[in-house]
Chain A
Amino acid sequence: EAGVAQSPRYKIIEKRQSVAFWCNPISGHATLYWYQQILGQGPKLLIQFQNNGVVDDSQLPKDRFSAERLKGVDSTLKIQPAKLEDSAVYLCASSLSGRNEKLFFGSGTQLSVL
């Protein structure tokens, strides 16, 4: 079974530039999550999709972050414009239905904002 695919693996940008991350979940998984993980901290949920609908985006900085999951499969997360404090690892995860289930993570994107 193929795992969660994420790209790119690394990205370096300057502040005020824009960046986009892509994620393709495990086939058949209805729930897709985007997390931000800062070094030394646990993952912080940015947005959770159930199929192509948003379940939770309460911690997404909507003035600069946006995410979509068209057709309920793959997803993109965009930051525009980036700030220095956005430097982190962005993790995509998926689960079968999102209720009391384990999550499977992609390899993550390490973002450095200079």
Chain B
Amino acid sequence: QKEVEQNSGPLSVPEGAIASLNCTYSDRGSQSFFWYRQYSGKSPELIMSIYSNGDKEDGRFTAQLNKASQYVSLLIRDSQPSDSATYLCAGWEGNYQLIWGAGTKLIIKP
């Protein structure tokens, strides 16, 4: 059973600090990973995608992928109250099945 695991949280971070979200996966063959943000009562919205080892930056967001250690992380710099949401990590198993984590609830405290 291929899995993507996340700490369910909640993760509480002060406003302006860096929020660090982590995800581990079991399938060594997984090639591409995604971070989705989901506000309460809303559908998932893509934040970042990452396909190769290393860091990928987009504004205040940085995704990190380490295939040797099988983890993916998302860093949010200068955290804002509007970043409070559940963050879902997902990775493709082979070419056809997207495996989802259960999500980490992030709370940014003003």
As a 0/1 sequence over residues 44 to 58 of chain A, the CB contacts with chain B under 8 angstroms (1 = contact) are 110010000001100
Q: How far is the CA of A89 from the CA of B42 in the complex (A)?
A: 10
Q: Contact: B97 with A45, CB < 8 Å?
A: yes
Scan residues 90-114 of chain A and give those whose CB is less than 8 A from a CB of chain B: 91, 98-108, 110
Q: Are A43 and B100 in contact (CB under 8 A)?
A: yes
Write the B77-103 contact mask toward A (1 if CB under 8 angstroms, else 0): 000000000001010100111101111
The answer to whether B44 touches A91, judged by C-beta atoms less than 8 angstroms apart, is: yes
* Of the residues A41, A98, A99, A108, contact of B43 by C-beta under 8 Å: A108
A101 to B44, CA, bound (A): 15
Residues of B with C-beta under 8 A to A105: 43-45
Q: Is A61 an interface residue (CB 8 A)?
A: no
Report, nearest first, the 10 A-B pairs whose CB atoms are least far apart.
A42-B100, A105-B43, A100-B32, A99-B95, A42-B102, A108-B43, A100-B92, A43-B100, A102-B46, A105-B44
Give the interface SS of chain B, mostly helix, strand, loop or mixed.
loop
Bound-complex Cα distance A108 to B42 (A): 8
**A104, B102: Cβ atoms under 8 Å?**
no
Question: What A residues does B49 contact at CB under 8 A?
Answer: 102
Report B-chain residues with C-beta under 8 Å of the C-beta of A103. 34, 44, 46, 98
Q: How large is the interface on A (under 10, 10 to 19, 20 to 34, 35 or more residues)?
A: 20 to 34
Shortest distance from the beta carbon of A108 to any chain B beta carbon, whole Å: 5
Give residues 25-51 of A contacting B (CB, 8 Å). Answer: 40-45, 48
Q: Are A42 and B45 in contact (CB under 8 A)?
A: no
A104 engages B46 (CB within 8 Å): yes
Choose among A42, A48, A100 the residue that contacts B88 (Cβ–Cβ < 8 A).
A42
In the complex formed, the residue of A with least CB distance to B103 is A42
Q: Mark B26-59, 1 if CB is under 8 A from A, else 0.
A: 0000011010000001111110010100000000
Cβ contact within 8 Å between B97 and A102: no
